[in-house]
Amino acid sequence: MDALAGTGTDPGTSTSTGTTPGTSTGATAAAPVPTVTGEVPRIRGQRLARDERRTQVLQVAQELFSREGYHHVSMDDIADRACVGKPVLYRHFPSKLDLYLAVVDQRGEELLRTVELALTALGPAPVPADGGRQVVHAVVHAIFAFVDVAGESSSLLFESDVRHDPGVRERVESASLQVAQRVAAALEATASLTPAQARLASVALVALARGAATHRLRSPDGLGPDEAVELVTALSWDGVLGVARPAPSGAVAGVPASTAGALPGAVGAGGQGVQVAG
């Protein structure tokens, strides 16, 4: 990661002060912030352009919030680590919450980009009738890949300690909910779930993938990435099929009719045997 640089003398100051969760004024969009995988170095003496300094502050804040949590990091800590004065810091971010949410938004955008790339690789929408498992696998794989690259900064989306205020919670959970919406659409189309069933199942699936990926990040001596992704995919998709309504014409929900005959004794919703064509 490139070294961070900065001075504490930008023209102009701000009279804004820090706020507590629930008083956000909204964070301004910015270019993606590189993922921080280690402690951010402190380097003084180089003058940065405004956008570069903002990126620098976001990098520092990401590292500190990921490691210490929102409530244990102050604007003084961030200014000190970024080697800027507090007036400069407040000029870019009116409050600690604004800065925190800007970091969260960056992580969320990266998660969504990773998922969209995985889904795009499957081909154009709509999802074919036999494509449900492929969608689940793609999303699970994308979540694992995101966590592997983002490291502990993924916890800002998955384990945030700033969720009591509804507005803040909505921002923190926005990316995961958008991923779940993509999964829900696929489950409706391929597993014969009702819209309500698909929404709840997709939220549960994303939560399972997030938890498993985070556990693997912190316990790397376990399963390899491919094996872990396949396990979570199988758990998720088999669970969906366990509650799916039987498909028309005796086919198993979520399974193409052309392969139904290869599944004798298949079990449908409620543990009832599904008649398969033979």
Give pLDDT tens digits along the chain (278 positions). 333 333 333 433 343 444 444 444 444 444 455 554 445 444 444 566 777 889 999 999 999 999 999 999 999 999 999 998 999 899 999 999 999 999 999 999 999 999 999 999 998 878 888 899 999 999 999 999 999 999 999 999 999 988 888 989 999 999 999 999 999 999 988 888 999 999 999 999 999 999 999 999 999 878 899 999 999 999 999 999 888 866 555 444 444 443 444 333 444 434 443 333 33
1 domain residue, yes or no: no
Q: Is residue 152 part of a domain?
A: yes
For residues 252 and 269, what is the distance between their CA atoms, to the nearest angstrom? Answer: 10
Residue 236 lies in a domain: yes
pTM for the full predicted model: 0.71
Q: Which domain holds residue 180?
A: 104-244
Number of domains in the chain: 1
In a domain, 156, yes or no: yes
- Answer yes or no: is 273 within a domain: no
> Is residue 267 assigned to a domain?
no
Residue 42 located in a structural domain: no
CA distance linking residue 64 with residue 67, whole number of Å:
5
CATH number reported for the structural domain that contains residue 188 in this entry: 1.10.357.10
Instruction: Write the pLDDT tens digit of every residue in 47-77.
Output: 667 778 899 999 999 999 999 999 999 999 9
57 found inside a domain: no
